[in-house]
């Protein structure tokens, strides 16, 4: 047991627990309304939204998995950098429109928008179910990050006793999320991001100094891990895999329910635009985080006997904790582990809230209890958020970790199938809801089939055309099939003159030129 690290870790965990419960009094609103509980009253300015989105998108699993990929596979792990750069111009152009129409009509989820735009509660149901199913393994993987840190502190993480610290952590998370809603992760995200920035900026100077400098680090990396495998034998190899993985991940990222929840909590479209200009600072941080994987290789942590049992249990995911334990002072190791653990709690809270909003608004309300009032709706969302966390916890405790990783791989393929309905719908009502449902189903089927043919070990599907092979992210292949299906069937529906769904929005609803939130420039920024 590393008692010094544990003491520092416990201090910060108690701090964010206090902040989580205290958040219910921050920017006080009626937490019996879903807008207030699930979206923070749509009052977050640029600064809070920046921390919230940063805490939402750059998770503990990012902190663990990106360096682990660099540690195990090498340069392919850097795909995370271009995709977080590609995404922000896309968000800048598109998502203020979603914010504007959602603010005008009181939409809480993307499925609310889809229902209103196409007049089909069944298409909205498909969007909601996809979002919930894609989110569940994402939450479970946040638990993996906490589990790795708990093991690194010296706890035995096997058996019921070993799971107890994880159960306690998520019990506390569930309690303050239930009471405070989105305000809790928004407040905690500020602490989380400050901890991560301090940790990484310290690590990138201190650790290389201990290892003999960056030149020594890069000289210790095998050449096949420094460079992507170039085209050969009629295959594009690593080049097409790298580029399409980056592009597909960028298109999928802001379709996840937790990303949309953070966007809709902003107080104006301009707040979203400012954040797309500021969030690339996290991409710079992500590049530095990725380098930790190379530092772990240079430090030879996998060969150290004291960490052998941990690498056997967690694989490459233990690379960063092992690096910190090996080279950082114990007190700072506790600080860094607190950053990782809190980095799991923030997105897990937002994800559970987003999934609860989808269930309540787009499954329970239209199909089970159409007459429920706002108070009942919010109470249902709170209860579902607890069930979502409990489900993710059971997933990690009772099933092999590999299942969560495989489902997360599928989650990216599934969530991207909602792009035509959500993104295209922000600009045109021409697409038909029946065609969108068919395209969604075919996209899910083909994407899942591609992953299954690879035994769920990879999402890069090698398409063979004659003597050529095109290894491409399966989500992109399936999305292309989805879009072709939607366009063809919509054209067919129009030719057959079938009755279209009723659009409940107007063109003017998508204009966010005027700031809606009152309170002056300070309120707009903060």
DSSP annotation string for 92-134: HHHHHHHHHHHHHHT--SHHHHHHHHH--HHHHHHHHHHHHHH
Per-residue buried b or exposed e for 265-291, using 16+ beta carbons within 10 Å of the residue's own CB? bbbbbbbbbbbbebbeebbebbbebbb
The C-alpha atoms of residue 427 and residue 421 are separated, in whole angstroms, by 10
> How far is the CA of 77 from the CAs of 65, 135, 238, 406, in angstroms?
9, 22, 11, 17
Cβ-defined contacts of 377-380 (< 8 Å, 24+): 377/34, 378/31, 378/32, 378/33, 378/34, 378/37, 378/38, 379/32
Per-residue buried b or exposed e for 360-375, using 16+ beta carbons within 10 Å of the residue's own CB? bbbbbbbeeeeeeeee
Specify the DSSP class assigned to residue 366. Answer: I
The C-alpha atoms of residue 40 and residue 30 are separated, in whole angstroms, by 10
> What is the model's pLDDT at position 315?
86
Closest by CA position to 55, among listed 178, 166, 195: 195
266 phi and psi angles, rounded to 5 deg: -70, 155
Closest by CA position to 268, among listed 48, 487, 117: 48
| Beta carbons within 10 angstroms of residue 442's beta carbon | 18
| Beta carbons within 10 angstroms of residue 398's beta carbon | 9
Specify the DSSP class assigned to residue 491. Answer: H
The C-alpha atoms of residue 486 and residue 480 are separated, in whole angstroms, by 10
463 phi and psi angles, rounded to 5 deg: -85, 125
> What is the model's pLDDT at position 237?
65
What percent of the chain is predicted at pLDDT more than 70?
A: 93
What residue ranges define each of the domains in the chain, with the CATH number in brackets? 3-514 (1.20.1730.10)
Three-class DSSP category at 458:
coil
The C-alpha atoms of residue 113 and residue 358 are separated, in whole angstroms, by 12
Residue 235 · residue 469 · CB < 8 Å: yes
> What is the model's pLDDT at position 232?
65
Per-residue pLDDT of the chain (526 residues), as tens digits, is 788 999 999 999 899 889 989 888 887 788 888 999 999 989 899 999 999 988 888 877 678 888 988 998 888 888 888 888 889 999 999 999 999 999 999 999 999 999 999 999 999 999 999 999 999 888 888 887 888 888 888 887 776 666 788 888 888 888 989 989 999 999 999 888 899 999 999 999 999 999 999 999 999 999 888 887 776 665 666 678 888 888 999 999 999 999 999 999 999 999 999 999 998 888 888 888 999 999 999 999 999 998 888 888 888 889 999 999 999 999 999 999 999 888 888 888 999 999 999 999 999 999 999 888 888 999 999 999 999 988 888 877 777 666 666 777 788 999 999 999 999 999 998 999 999 999 999 999 999 999 999 888 888 898 887 777 888 899 999 999 999 999 999 999 999 999 989 999 998 999 875 444 444 455 556 6
> What is the model's pLDDT at position 516?
45
pTM: 0.92
């Amino acid at each position: 047991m590393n008692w010094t690290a544990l003491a520092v870790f416990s201090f910060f965990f108690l701090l964010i627990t206090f902040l989580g419960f205290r958040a219910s009094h921050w920017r006080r609103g009626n937490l019996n309304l879903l807008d207030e509980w699930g979206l923070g009253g749509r009052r977050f300015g640029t600064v809070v939204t920046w921390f919230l989105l940063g805490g939402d998108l750059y998770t503990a699993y990012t902190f663990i998995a990106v360096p682990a990929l660099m540690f195990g596979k090498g340069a392919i792990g850097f795909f995370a950098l271009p995709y977080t750069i590609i995404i922000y111009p896309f968000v800048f152009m598109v998502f203020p429109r979603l914010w504007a129409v959602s603010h005008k009509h009181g939409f809480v989820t993307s499925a609310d928008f889809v229902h209103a735009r196409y007049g089909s509660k069944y298409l909205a149901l498909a969007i909601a179910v996809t979002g919930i199913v894609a989110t569940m393994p994402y939450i479970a993987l946040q638990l993996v990050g906490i589990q790795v840190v708990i093991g690194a502190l010296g706890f035995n993480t096997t058996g019921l006793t070993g799971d107890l610290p994880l159960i306690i952590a998520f019990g506390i998370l569930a309690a303050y999320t239930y009471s405070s809603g989105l305000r809790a992760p928004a407040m905690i995200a500020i602490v989380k991001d400050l901890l991560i920035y301090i940790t990484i900026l310290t690590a990138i100077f201190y650790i290389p100094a201990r290892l003999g400098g960056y030149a020594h680090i890069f000289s210790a990396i095998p050449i096949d891990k420094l460079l992507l495998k170039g085209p050969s034998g009629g295959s594009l190899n690593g080049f097409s895999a790298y580029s399409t993985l980056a592009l597909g991940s960028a298109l999928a990222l802001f379709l996840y329910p937790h990303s949309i929840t953070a966007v809709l909590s902003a107080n104006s479209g301009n707040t979203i635009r400012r954040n797309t200009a500021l969030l690339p600072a996290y991409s710079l941080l992500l590049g530095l985080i990725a380098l930790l994987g190379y530092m772990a290789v240079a430090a030879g942590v996998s060969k150290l006997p004291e960490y052998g049992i941990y690498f056997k249990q967690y694989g490459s995911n233990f690379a960063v904790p092992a690096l910190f334990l090996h080279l950082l002072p114990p007190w700072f190791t506790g600080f860094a582990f607190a950053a990782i653990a809190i980095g799991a709690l923030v997105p897990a809270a937002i994800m559970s809230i987003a999934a609860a909003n989808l269930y309540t608004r787009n499954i329970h309300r239209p199909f089970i209890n159409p007459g429920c009032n706002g108070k009942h709706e919010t109470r249902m969302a709170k209860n579902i958020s607890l069930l979502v966390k409990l489900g993710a916890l059971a997933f990690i405790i009772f099933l092999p970790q590999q299942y969560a990783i495989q489902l997360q791989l599928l989650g990216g393929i599934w969530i991207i199938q909602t792009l035509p309905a959500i993104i295209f719908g922000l600009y045109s009502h021409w697409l038909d809801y029946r065609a969108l449902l068919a395209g969604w189903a075919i996209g899910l089927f083909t994407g899942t089939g591609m992953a299954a043919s690879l035994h769920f070990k990879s999402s890069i599907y090698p398409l063979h055309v004659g003597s050529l092979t095109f290894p491409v992210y399966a989500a992109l292949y399936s999305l292309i099939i989805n879009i072709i299906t939607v366009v063809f069937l919509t054209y067919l529906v129009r030719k057959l003159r079938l009755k279209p769904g009723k659009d409940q929005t107007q063109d003017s609803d998508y204009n966010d030129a005027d700031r809606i939130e009152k309170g002056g420039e300070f309120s707009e920024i903060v």
